[in-house]
Each structure stands twice: as structure tokens, then as C-alpha cells.
Amino acid sequence: MKKKITAKVLKQEELTNGIYSLYLEVEDFADAHSGQFVMIYPGAGENLLGRPISLCEVSGDRRIIRLVYRVAGAGTYRISHLKEKETVQVLGPLGNGYDMEIADKAQTPILMGGGIGIPPMLQLAKDIYAVSGRKPIVLLGYRDRNLFLADCFEETAQVIIATEDGSVGTKGNVMDALREKALNPDMICACGPMPMLRAIKNYAVESDIKAYISLEERMACGVGACLGCVTKTAHIDDHSKVNNARVCTEGPVFEAREVLP
């Protein structure tokens, strides 16, 4: 069982309106890998419960983690006001991430991140590059020209941008960019809003390829005890005995055919 640890804030900055980058010094996260998340506990009262935030980057010695998140309520608002040298309680790393063995075997892996689903793609791109020596293609979807994190991918990935307003790259979303560039992946890894993930699942089924998607759900415990983050799945869960899976433990990364209607 994971235990809460006390993490020290090394740096925090606002990347763009309402989106923050937070560096934390943690105890050894030796088993941390792309696609996992942590629970951060911002305080007492209404902020007693942890907030799940995906790992954006993990240092080589596994002692520094980077979290990039959007302020969405009182808890993340409080987290956004953490200052250098302050401490915060963290539980993690949690959940099942992306399978590097599968990613390494893919000839043309494509990563897709939309909005606040972009951060976990950064560590995944780094991991694939480290394992295979090949730069994966990464499709990043933004609303406009506020391309937070895009420059961080340049060393380990081939980056293609899509913006909803057409200000940069392809006008539209990541699926529009996939079609415009005539890309033919043999595997997709993705994180983003639900409509994007549904479109990716449909594409993967039609193209007969594997797609691994990271789901976002509200979480209370992060360790599978409360059943507050279940999602419908094709198989009966050994824990709940129904066609549900807990996003915090069986996920957040699933093979697309297993989840989403």
C-alpha cells in the first residue's frame, strides 16, 4: 500500500491562463512511469480530499516530479498558490500507465494529447525515445496559439500541432491533423477530453490497430477503495463483479476497446 509522503516545492509557475507547472522533490519514485498519477492533498476542510494530477515528467533519479495541471476548483486553486520551499502531502505514483514493451514493438507509434491531456504525453515521448531510440510522432491539440509545453517535446518527439481556431498548424483537432498529414499509425497512445478519446477509439477499431487511452475521472481516494471513479468496461471486474473498472487502479490507461461506449 502506498503511503503519503511530504514533498517539497522546488518551483511553480503559470504557463498560460490557469495552467500551472509544479516541480516537487519527492522520496524515491523508482517505479514511476508515464501514464501514472499522484494524489495531492491541498489542505484541510473542503480541501481535505486529494486531487489527482498526472505525471508530466519524472527526473532520471526518480526524485523530482513535474506536474502540469489546470485550476478547476478550490483544491487546485490552493495548490496553485504553493511557494518554493513549502511542503505538501503526496500519494503516489498511482495507477497503471502506458506499456513500454508494447510501445517499443510498434513501428509507427503516434501519441495524441488534447488540452490538459497534453502533459502526460511528455514523459511518454521521453520513455519511448529512451527505449527505442526513435522519436515518436506527437499530435498536440490546443484551443489557440497558447501552446503550453509544445517546445518541451522537441528533443524526443516529432511534433504536429492542431488548434481549434487555426492560429497554428492544422485547424481543428488531433484527428483532423492525423488525416491532413496522411499518417498511418500502428498504435496510438492518447489522453484528452472524452469526445477526442471516443473518436480515437472509433478510428482504432476501423483501422484494426491498438489504442491506449488515459481516462480522467473525479477521485476521492485514488487507491480503489471508494469506487467513486468507475467506468464501464467490456469485462466483469474481479473487485466489483460487474462491468466496471476503477480508473484509479485498473487505469487510468486502458486499451480503447475495453472502455467507452
Residue 29 has pLDDT above 60, yes or no: yes
Q: Does domain 5-94 have CATH number 2.40.30.10?
A: yes
pLDDT band at 234 (very low <50, low <70, confident <90, very high): low
Instruction: Report the topology of domain 100-214.
Output: Rossmann fold (3.40.50)
pLDDT band at 237 (very low <50, low <70, confident <90, very high): low
Which tops the pLDDT comparison, 31 or 80?
80
Residue 239 has pLDDT above 70, yes or no: no
Cβ burial 131-149 (10 Å sphere, 16+ → b, else e): ebebbbbbbbbbeeeebbb
pLDDT at residue 261, rounded to an integer: 62
pLDDT at residue 43, rounded to an integer: 75
Q: Which tens digits make up the pLDDT trace of 61-76?
A: 999 999 999 999 989 9
Domain spans, the chain: 5-94, 100-214
Provide Rg for the chain, Cα atoms.
18
Which tops the pLDDT comparison, 203 or 43?
203
Q: How far is CA 55 from CA 24, 89, 108, 177, in A?
A: 11, 15, 24, 25
Between CA 115 and CA 148 the distance in angstroms is: 9
Q: Residue 118 CA to chain centroid, in angstroms?
A: 7
pLDDT band at 212 (very low <50, low <70, confident <90, very high): very high
